[in-house]
Amino acid sequence: MSLFGLKFGKKKLKEEERQLQANNRDFNLQFEYANNSIKTSKYNFFTFLPLNLFEQFQRIANAYFLFLLILQLIPQISSLAWFTTVVPLVLVLAVSGVKDAIDDFNRHKSDKHVNNRPVQVLINGMLKEQKWMNVQVGDIIKLENNNFVTADLLLLSSSEPHSLTYIETAELDGETNLKVKQALTVTAELGEDLQKLTEFNGEIRCEAPNNKLDKFTGTLTLRGEKYALDNEKMLLRGCTIRNTEWCFGLVIYAGPDTKLMQNSGKTTFKRTSIDRLMNVLVLVIFAFLALMCLILAIGNGIWEHDKGYYFQVYLPWAEGVNSASYSGFLMFWSYVIILNTVVPISLYVSVEIIRLGNSFYIDWDRKMYYPANDTPAQARTTTLNEELGQIKYIFSDKTGTLTQNIMCFNKCSINGKSYGDVYDMSGQRIEINENTQKVDFSYNPLADPKFAFYDRSLVEAVKLNDVPTHRFFRLLSLCHTVMPEEKKEGNLVYQAQSPDEGALVTAARNFGFVFRARTPETITVVEMGETKVYKLLAILDFNNVRKRMSVIVRSPEGDLTLYCKGADTILYELLHPSCNSLKEETTEHLNEFAGEGLRTLVVAYKSLEEDYFQGWIRRHHEASTALEGREDKLSELYEEIEKDLMLLGATAIEDKLQDGVPQTIETLAKANIKIWVLTGDKQETAMNIGYSCNLLNDDMEEVFIVEGSTSDDVLNELRNARKKMKPDSFLDSDEINIKFEKSSKKQIIIPDEQANGVYGLVITGHSLAYALEGNLELELVRTACMCKVVICCRVTPLQKAQVVELVKKYKKAVTLAIGDGANDVSMIKTAHIGVGISGQEGMQAVLSSDFSFAQFRYLQRLLLVHGRWSYIRMCKFLKYFFYKNFAFTLVHFWYGFFSGFSAQTVYDEWFITLYNLVYTSLPVLGMSLFDQDVDDRWSMLFPQLYVPGQQNLYFNKVVFVKCMLQGIYSSLILFFIPYGAMYNTMRSDGKAIADYQSFALMAQTCLLIVVSVQIGLDTSYWTVVNQFFIWGSLSVYFAITFTMYSDGMYLIFTASFPFIGTARNTLSQPNVWLAIFLSIALCVLPVVGFRFLKAQLKPTPSDKVLLKIKEAKKRPPPPSPKRRLRRTSTRRSGYAFSHQHGFGALIMSGRNMRPKSPFATTGTFSPNSDKYKHKGL
């Protein structure tokens, strides 16, 4: 949330109670409640410059360079011109400032988009269109079908009977099934009468803003009467109105106070692990710099005392200097200025440019572009690229992220015969793809055109009037709680409580059994073109214990039948003994379906005797009106009648995964990345998807289910799981147990523990609440991190963030969270990297994310290609940058011992200014933007290459020390070889060459050529750009050198360019070039030798993979066949897992029924009418 939002949120959380009046802005304004505007931006036009500069100078390096600039303005200690620091500092601040301005401008745009959405607000008796941001607490607003809910509202009235309103809560809990909300009767009477709504002056007292999505308590006081308010009467921001023409609501919470925004978590400033490491290293370098300056200052004090004191006639002390010790003190600060280039300011400019460039690669990657909805990948944050190459844990949402949230009727088994597969002429099964011909349902004018089925034999069975097949589809068209909507004749839309039910009813519709309409007492079905009205006598409702539902209907012919569908484990216990042989055949089919990751469901029926049923329905009425034990009595009656069922068959529904999800998960697992699924869905649904996308499989030793209802239960379940996975973890000698005993309040990092097999863990939201408490969180993180896969179900948005925070707290690992809905925002903000999927659930997740794209499968390319490349490039850049600057700067240190510690620079001042900005900036940028050890195809084929990034092997403190030592060694060579070559040297014409300026030119030429050769050694992937930058930089150096040291420049700027003629005098001598060649050989050969021997004698796993790739490149592999992932899994019921208990009773009561559809009456519309006779069956 924004700084503004956070501030406001904290203020409002101190409220104990909220009080407001409808239609009374003056009354409500006194409480200073937040309005409905959302603010995620940081700056405005006036605050940008001061705030941004304040933020930038909080970086140690920027503050340090400002301090240096101040030192350079003091004449007594200034050893370099002021422009050597001002130019780079201004450049750095400008580059960072522009980038921050662009980021904040984008935040302003997204805020403006949301805040300017239109909504109808009731003002002075009229509906006026207002912007979302102008809506205030106490306003009454009108919402229409498919509108987003503007704020947290109390539902007042709606177009539906009894003021019911259907909503979709996908952005809150990830579920797309419809939920029902109902207004109070006293407000339902207001209807859409604007006069009555304007006069409504109810006073609300309710709880203060909080993040509990499933809880609301309050009271409405109207005309002296008090009415209780609960969550069933609330419409929360983030929901979408469905299947409801209009509704009116009273704003209770707005903007940052809404439950959605309270759950969205706080925005944290994300920094990469390399950033944090660089801060530590910069402090180490500062200490090293201070040590060098101290040594040189002490040296100056001693030299001035022993020698300089007696040479004051020739070398007078500066004005104000009256002792050797004071001279040493001034020299300390002079050397701080000279040696500051060990931490060059251009380091930070280059880092920003590299990150920006690698971000553009993500934006431009066509292989991450999704043409279906014209969505490219987008790097929304440009400072986290290299962190993508170090991910160890991925936290993923389920609905809309792993799945498309579309259910498809895929296969079925009827009377022992399996349908759904397609066979060729030789009887071989054909794999279904986009080219497979679909069944033609054009004979059925009421068929859903979007429904796809490929097995023609099932259509033939229906057309041949096969009795079991007809009975099977009749059951699917009658046994459900779906609501039909037919606004145009023949244009049927089903509103289903669970997507599974919608898929089954749609299947029946296409095969000729069209569910057309329902009333509380009847169900209208068009069977094979003939309209039939069944009397609905009872709905035996679904719940999580029964795992089945039944309906009892009377056919037009007077037959009484019970139709039942449910989980196979439950229904098999209720079957008549005569079904045993059919049960065996059906079981085989169920195992096949489950093996393909489909959600299975068994269907059965029973013919009822009239006398028995009349007695049963009387007892049912008594039980349903009982004041005590109602649920138990009804359950007993349901058990009694649902016996001796006749098996019809089974259905198999595919919860369609997004394309490539199983393959992506398999590839990421090979890269040693652990995947946790955090979903608001129910346990069975989450486990189903776990099996479907190969996260869970039957080859696992065990999948632990933690569902304890007390703290002790959860602790025991977690400990039992850990005991099975690693019994040794309970011994006192265990490394982690010892660490626990030693550590008191100090934060401990838990190392990775290896289990004795492959395990999975499933934990429910209720149990997770206990597990996240202080005394259990260590147990949870130890047990969960031993498992290959963790699935947390029924979790709230805040719990998602808490799980991510837990892993960040106890594991030294980089985390990534990926989701597509508003319920994922908090975990996206909490993780090191947040990825938003621009899917069906709005754009909330994308707006809060660091990276976004359209499909989960692009994640493997983001990590294994872009992330790995970015990490390797950044590590190479830092190694090279620190090396070249140590080599450059330490030459001054050695020179101090030969110049009386006088803070005399070795190089020309212009060379010092241009070294990092011009001469060495482009070659290292070229490597950091274009280098790749292997191309994208090999990166995806060998995910093991990703592992070194997780272990942070390419740049760490040890690697830094190696760079430092290499830099010190090179600086020794670069000082002493030119010094020795120049010492008492004569030119070929007999003139002396051993002057300071010639030595300076030779040393800087050696340095530049050595660092250019070094970058050539570090480059793995040569491009024209790399070649141009390296050769171009050397050419520019010689061009600038010859120009600056020319007679003309000296005549124009005498004081600024004193090195007149040095270049042509020195660089024309052969011995100078021989010395340069010797310097290069001594600097580079040890590096080449070390790298060669290391690769031969002690290769890393990465070296071994790269060797395999080199061998594979010699003989290009054949294109990999498109293989279907084999799934082995136990049967899993897919029935109504997101079904809302009690919906059957709502249907039977008639409270949710509209007036009867004019198209649903008997005989009014039939495929057998004259209009359709030529298309008859």
**Residues labelled catalytic:** 397
What DSSP element (H or E) covers 553? strand 548-554
CA–CA gap between residue 135 and residue 138 (Å, rounded): 9
CB 339 within 8 A of CB 901: no
Q: Are strands 814-819 and 391-396 parallel, antiparallel or unpaired?
A: parallel
Collect contacts of 718-722 with beta carbons under 8 A, ≥24 apart: 718/771, 718/776, 718/779, 718/780, 718/783, 719/779, 719/783, 721/759, 721/761, 721/783, 722/779, 722/782, 722/783, 722/786
CB 1148 within 8 A of CB 507: no
Angle ∠(353,354,360) on CA atoms, nearest 5: 90
Collect contacts of 294-297 with beta carbons under 8 A, ≥24 apart: 294/332, 296/331, 296/332, 296/335, 296/893, 296/896, 296/901, 296/903, 297/328, 297/329, 297/331, 297/332, 297/335, 297/901
Find all residues with CB under 8 Å of 941, minimum gap 6, and list them: none
Q: Tell me the backbone φ, ψ of residue 577, rounded to 5 degrees.
A: -55, -25
Name the one residue in this structure whose structure tokens are 């909504």. 119
CA–CA gap between residue 869 and residue 871 (Å, rounded): 5
State the first-to-last Cα distance of the chain, in angstroms, to the nearest integer. 60
DSSP for 8-62 reads HHHHHHT-S-EEEETT-HHHHHTTT---S--------TTTHHHHHHHHHTTSHHH
CA–CA gap between residue 1126 and residue 697 (Å, rounded): 10
Q: Tell me the backbone φ, ψ of residue 753, rounded to 5 degrees.
A: -115, 140
Helix (H, G, I), strand (E, B) or coil at 647: strand
CA–CA gap between residue 16 and residue 1106 (Å, rounded): 63
Task: For residue 69, give both structure tokens.
Answer: 């600039």
- Residue 852 burial (10 A CB sphere; 0-12, 13-18, 19+): buried
* Alpha-carbon separation of residue 326 from 312, 786, 870 (angstroms): 15, 63, 49
> For helices 921-930 and 996-1018, what crossing angle results, to 10°?
0
Q: Side chain identity at 556, as an amino acid letter?
A: P
CB 760 within 8 A of CB 787: yes
Helix (H, G, I), strand (E, B) or coil at 192: coil
CA–CA gap between residue 582 and residue 648 (Å, rounded): 9
Task: For residue 12, give both structure tokens.
Answer: 């409002």
Edge-to-edge strand order for the sheet containing 225-229?
18-21, 203-206, 218-222, 225-229
CB 818 within 8 A of CB 395: yes
Q: Are strands 152-158 and 246-253 parallel, antiparallel or unpaired?
A: antiparallel
Edge-to-edge strand order for the sheet containing 178-182?
178-182, 164-168, 240-242
Separation of CA 950 from chain center: 18
Taking the CA atoms of the chain, what radius of gyration do you get in angstroms?
Answer: 38
- Beta-sheet strands, E only, within 287-420: 378-379, 391-396, 403-414, 417-419
Helix (H, G, I), strand (E, B) or coil at 101: helix
Q: Tell me the backbone φ, ψ of residue 690, rounded to 5 degrees.
A: -55, -45
Kindly tell me the sign of the dihedral angle through the C-alpha atoms of 109, 114, 118, 122.
Answer: negative
